[in-house]
């Protein structure tokens, strides 16, 4: 093999950076001729800025971010693509133990059924508003994130107005559990291990999760500028081939211990491995006494399953419109279809046909 081509990737220390991390650490990127350099970042704003100015060739990004950047909804907006999905599921909604007690009094399901916990929290919110109590405060990691849309969908399905009946603020993921313990938040929606962190500390209770709200939905994507994708199509293709193998490796349960060890290490999450293993092994703890086996809580997969789909992109765009972050236009929607097009990934992996696109089905209250 000739000389390796360097690729610099920015990432946020979360479990779903696993595919990029494994591509580097287990050697899948190198097998494809790529010298992958990973740079840990402290905020999604930094990821966005450093991709825009070209410090990073590619990045671990919240799925809606390439859309927001392309549609000029954020600062330093540049046209982007989301050519590959890095993981499905992985988020959860956690509330303080005090709020959980109130929800239990309203009959909340202990196993995370979103319709039941949604009804319970709606009753708590209604009672609070009636007695003039302060609105509940929830945290999400970014306004343009699956977390924000999942939380809003769950609340709105229970007829809570997320913009009027509660307050939604933005906090970095690693600070969520502390903010909950300090009573600065009543709940939050975040990726792992930051739900488990509050459960382990005894300060939080998981009430529902992404996989229950929107099954098998994309959470993070590989984000690239269109400029870079056009200038380096072969490098991008090679990188995605390596990442596809890395994703299959991450999905193999026999590699969980090794993956847990790598991700919890000082270069990545730098945390207690016990916080990483529940989501990686699918043995989630929702609270002090409730555990649940959820193999698909957070799932990785290479091959056809990692191809983005235009329907997914459109759902994120619909949420931007629904929550007044964007105004609808057919031209913008056409852009979104382009951003989430599977064509680049299919070509790189030589996938002729993808399974036909499933319609997007989220939980709603009648599905109880």
Partner 1 sequence: MSSGISILVIDDNKIRASIIEEGLRDAGHDAVILVHQMDGLVRQIADINPDVIVIDLENPNRDQLEHMFQVSRAVQRPIAMFVDKADSQSIEAAVDAGVSAYVVDGLKRERVKPILDMAVSRFNAFSKLSKELEDARTELADRKTIDRAKGILMKSKGLSEQAAYDLLRRTAMNQSRKIIDVAQSLVIASGLLGD
Q: Which positions touch partner 1 (CB under 8 A)?
A: 42-46, 49-50, 52-53, 55, 74-76, 141-143, 169-172, 174-175
CA angle 330, 85, 346 (to 5 degrees): 80
CB of 140 to partner 1, least distance (A): 9
User: Closer to partner 1 at the Cβ: 75 or 291?
Assistant: 75
Looking at 106-219, list the stretches that DSSP marks H as alpha helix, in order from N- to C-terminal side.
Answer: 114-130, 146-157, 176-181, 194-201, 210-213
CB of 20 to partner 1, least distance (A): 20
* 7-45 as b/e: b if 16+ CB within 10 A: bbbbbbbbbbbbbbbbbbbbebbeebbbebebeebeebe
Q: How far separated are the first and last CA of the chain, in Å rounded?
A: 56
Q: Closest Cα partner for 354 from 342, 344, 338?
A: 342
CB of 169 to partner 1, least distance (A): 7
User: Closer to partner 1 at the Cβ: 171 or 199?
Assistant: 171
User: Closer to partner 1 at the Cβ: 75 or 101?
Assistant: 75
CB of 291 to partner 1, least distance (A): 31
CA angle 62, 64, 69 (to 5 degrees): 105
Q: Is cis: bond before 193, omega within 30 of 0? A: yes
User: Closer to partner 1 at the Cβ: 145 or 196?
Assistant: 145
**Residue 326 has which token pair?**
């964007």
**Residue 152 has which token pair?**
């809003």
For residues 101 and 158, give the distance between their C-alpha atoms in angstroms, rounded to a whole number: 19
User: Closer to partner 1 at the Cβ: 42 or 291?
Assistant: 42
SS3 (DSSP) at 267: coil
SS3 (DSSP) at 240: helix
CB of 79 to partner 1, least distance (A): 15
Distance of CA 37 to the CA centre of its chain: 22
CB of 208 to partner 1, least distance (A): 23
Helix axes 256-263, 273-281, angle to 10 degrees: 140
User: Closer to partner 1 at the Cβ: 45 or 347?
Assistant: 45
User: Closer to partner 1 at the Cβ: 56 or 154?
Assistant: 56
CB of 317 to partner 1, least distance (A): 18
What DSSP string describes 204-233? EEEEEEHHHHSTT-EEEEEEEEHHHHHH-H
User: Closer to partner 1 at the Cβ: 65 or 332?
Assistant: 65
CB of 265 to partner 1, least distance (A): 20
């Amino acid at each position: 093999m000739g000389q390796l081509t360097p690729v610099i990737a920015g990432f946020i220390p979360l479990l779903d950076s696993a595919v990029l991390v494994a591509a580097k650490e287990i050697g899948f990127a190198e097998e494809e001729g790529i010298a992958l350099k990973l740079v840990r970042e402290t905020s999604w704003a930094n990821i966005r800025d450093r991709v825009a100015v070209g410090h990073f060739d590619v990045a671990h990004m919240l799925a809606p971010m390439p859309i927001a950047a392309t549609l000029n909804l954020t600062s330093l907006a540049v046209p982007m693509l989301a050519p590959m999905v890095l993981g499905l599921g992985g988020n959860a909604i956690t509330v303080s133990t005090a709020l959980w007690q109130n929800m239990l009094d309203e009959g909340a399901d202990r196993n995370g059924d979103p319709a039941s916990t949604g009804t319970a929290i709606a009753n708590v919110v209604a009672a609070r508003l009636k007695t003039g109590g302060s609105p509940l405060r929830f945290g999400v990691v970014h306004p343009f994130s699956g977390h924000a849309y999942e939380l809003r969908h769950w609340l709105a399905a229970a007829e809570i107005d997320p913009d009027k009946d509660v307050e939604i603020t933005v906090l970095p993921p690693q600070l969520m559990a502390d903010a909950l313990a300090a009573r600065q938040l009543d709940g939050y929606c975040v990726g792992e291990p930051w739900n488990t962190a509050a459960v382990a500390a005894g300060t939080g209770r998981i009430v529902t999760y992404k996989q229950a709200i929107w099954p098998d939905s994309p959470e993070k994507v590989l984000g690239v500028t269109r400029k870079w994708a056009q200038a380096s199509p072969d490098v991008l293709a090679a990188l995605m081939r390596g990442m596809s193998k890395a994703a299959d490796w991450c999905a193999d349960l026999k590699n969980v211990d090794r993956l847990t060890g790598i991700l919890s290490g000082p270069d990545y999450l730098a945390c207690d491995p016990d916080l990483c293993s529940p989501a990686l092994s699918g043995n989630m703890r929702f609270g002090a006494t409730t555990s649940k086996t959820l193999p698909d809580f957070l799932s990785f997969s290479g091959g056809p399953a990692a191809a983005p789909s235009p329907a997914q992109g459109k759902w994120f765009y619909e949420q931007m419109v629904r929550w007044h972050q964007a105004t609808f236009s057919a031209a913008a929607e056409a852009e979104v279809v382009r951003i989430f097009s599977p064509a680049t990934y299919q070509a790189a992996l030589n996938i002729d046909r993808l399974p036909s696109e499933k319609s997007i089905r989220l939980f709603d209250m009648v599905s109880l």
